[in-house]
Amino acid sequence: MQIQPDILENNPRSMAKQGVASMLAVALVLVSLAAFHTECSAHRAANPDGHTKGVHSIGVCNGVIGNNLPAPSDVVKLYKSKGINAMRIYAPESNVLKALSGTGIGLLMDVGNGALPGLANDPSAAAAWVKANVQPYPGVSFRYIAVGNEVMDSDGQKTILPAMKNLQGALAAAGLGGRVKVSTSVRFDVVTDTFPPSNGVFADLDYMGPILDFLVSTGAPLLVNVYPYFAYKGDPQNIKLNYATFAPGITVNDDGNGLTYTNLFDAMVDSIYAALEDAETPGVKVVVSESGWPSAGGFGATAQNAQAYNQGLIKHVGGGTPKRPGPLETYMFAMFNENQKTGDPTENHFGLFNPDKSPAYSISF
C-alpha cells in the first residue's frame, strides 16, 4: 500500500500528552479509595442516515505507516473474516476504497491535515475532493469524513470549520449530504476539569463552540480520540492498571451526577458528554475515533495488558457509558503493527495483528 505524505503527519500517536494532566486528579483520588468514597475524573453511537440498523459498535483503524503491510484487498478480507464492520483510514487511498466497495464495511475517512488549507479557502477544491474521493465509489459505505485529526496549532485550527462547511456543501451538491457526515477528530484534552466526569468542560470554547454548532446543524457526531493508556503511563502509581484496562476491583463514585465508574474509559467519555452539556450542545453525539493499548515498546506496553484493554473495550462499548447507555461507536487503534512509525517505540506496537496477518495476541470480535 502506498504511504501518502499526509498520513505520516496525520496518523501520530501524539497522545502521550493527551489528558494526562486532567487525569492526575483521577489518579490522586484512586489512591484514597480504601479510605473513603470519591468522585472520578475521567453515548451513545452516532450513526449517520442510512446506517441506523446493524451498525456494530467496534471498528478498527487501518494505519499504513509500514513497508511490510498486506495488500488492501487482503486487509479487507481480514476485516470481513473477523466480523469487523467499520474501518478508519487517514487519507483517501484508491486501492482501499476499491477493496471496500460492496462489502458493507462502514468507513470513517480523513481528508489528511495537509489538505485543510486548500479545502478551507476554496469551495471548488472541496467539490473536486468529493468528486475524486467519494463520488467514484458508490459501493463504499461512507459514514464520516474527518476534517483534521488532532490539529493543535492555532493556524491549523482556524482552517477546520471553513473546510468542514465547504465539504458539507460539496457533499450536499453531490446528493450525499444526508448520508455522509462531516466532522473533525480531536484529542481528548480538548476537555478539561474532568474531575469528576460531571465537571468536564471544553478548554477553549471559542474554538470548539462554532464547530459544535455546525455539528448540531448537520446531525454529525464529534469524533474524539480516547486513550486511557497514556493517562496510566503518565501516573502509574496513582492510576491503577485494573481501572485502566477494564479489570475488576475499583469502583469510583461521581457525586455530581450520581453515577458509579468501574473503568477509566467510561469516565473519560462521560466527561466529554458533560462538556457538551456545558456548551449547551447536549444533542451532539460522540464517536470514539481512536482507542487502543500497545503490546510492546514501553512502560505498561505488554501483550497481556493490550489484550485485557482491547478485549475489554470490544465487550464494553456495546453497553455504552453510565451517563449514556447504549452502543458507543468506537474505532480501535490499530489493525496492524506499523514498522515505520517514528517517536516512542510503542508507536510500532498498537496493532491487533502483525503484518503477516497473525494476531499480535489473542483477540476476538
93 is catalytic: no
Assigned C-alpha cell, 141: 459505505
Element (H, E) at 269: helix 264-278
DSSP string, 55-95: --SEEEE-----SSPPPHHHHHHHHHHHT--EEEESS--HH
243/203 Cα distance (integer angstroms): 25
Q: Which residues contact 52 (CB under 8 A, 6 or more apart)?
A: none
DSSP string, 162-209: HHHHHHHHHHHHTT-TTTSEEEEEEEGGGEE--SSGGG-EES-HHHHH
Collapsed DSSP state (helix, strand, coil) of residue 138? coil
309/76 Cα distance (integer angstroms): 24
349/180 Cα distance (integer angstroms): 32
280 is catalytic: no
Residue of 180, 85, 86, 178 lying closest to 133 (CA atoms):
180
Collapsed DSSP state (helix, strand, coil) of residue 359? strand
Residue showing cell 494526562: 20
Identified catalytic residue from 9, 39, 93, 150: 150
308/352 Cα distance (integer angstroms): 12
Identified catalytic residue from 93, 290, 329, 347: 290
Assigned C-alpha cell, 258: 450520581
344/239 Cα distance (integer angstroms): 21
As annotated, the active-site residues are 150, 290
